[in-house]
Amino acid sequence: MTELVRVGISLPDDLLRRFDRRIADHGYTNRSEAIRDMIRERLVTDEWSDDRDEVAGTFTLVYDHHQGELVSRMLSIQHDHEGAVISTLHVHLDHDNCLEVLVLRGPAHRLRALTDELRALRGVKHTTLAMTSTGKNLL
Ligand code: NI
């Protein structure tokens, strides 16, 4: 069980007012929970930018499966990064478009390379990367 520690911080009053308005808009009822979530989010972002860390995430792609060799290129890239893609979900959105969700886990630099290669393929229309962490230290 993680022990909670109290800390006091000093902030400019206008910054605190803006913070309180913003977290209320997002449904937080107390500052502590909002600050904890912001710290975790920042740490996960930093893990993704640090090549030493193992991270996890989901990568969502919308693409036109009629586009040239796109599907075989996507598969080749995934096989090149063997082990990084631990699960996939495929939905046929309409006649032309597919939506695919890749669940990723591995060293941050490998996952960034994989998602960069996929995003750049002709026929890939939109992607989103949801970065999270394997949570060894912080979640
Ligand atoms: Ni499809």
pLDDT > 80? residue 124: yes
| Residue 28: predicted pLDDT | 94
Ligand 1: centre distance to CA 61 (Å): 11
Nearest to 65 by CA among 88, 101, 95: 95
Ligand 1: centre distance to CA 93 (Å): 7
**Ion ligand 1: residues, CB < 5 A:** 92, 98
Segment 30-72, tens digit of pLDDT:
999 999 999 988 888 888 887 777 899 999 999 999 999 999 9
Ligand 1: centre distance to CA 67 (Å): 12
Ligand 1: centre distance to CA 4 (Å): 47
Ligand 1: centre distance to CA 94 (Å): 8
| Residue 50: predicted pLDDT | 79
pLDDT > 60? residue 78: yes
Identify the sign of the CA torsion 21, 23, 28, 34: negative
CA angle 39, 44, 7 (to 5 degrees): 20
Residue 95 vs residues 61, 78, 105, 123, 124: alpha-carbon distances, Å? 16, 24, 31, 14, 15
Query: At 55, phi and psi to the nearest 5?
Result: -135, 175
Ligand 1: centre distance to CA 114 (Å): 20
Ligand 1: centre distance to CA 98 (Å): 4
| Residue 84: predicted pLDDT | 95
| pTM for the structure as a whole | 0.79
**Three-state DSSP state, 123:** coil
The neighbour count for residue 123, using CB atoms within 10 Å, is 17
CA distance 108 to 111: 5
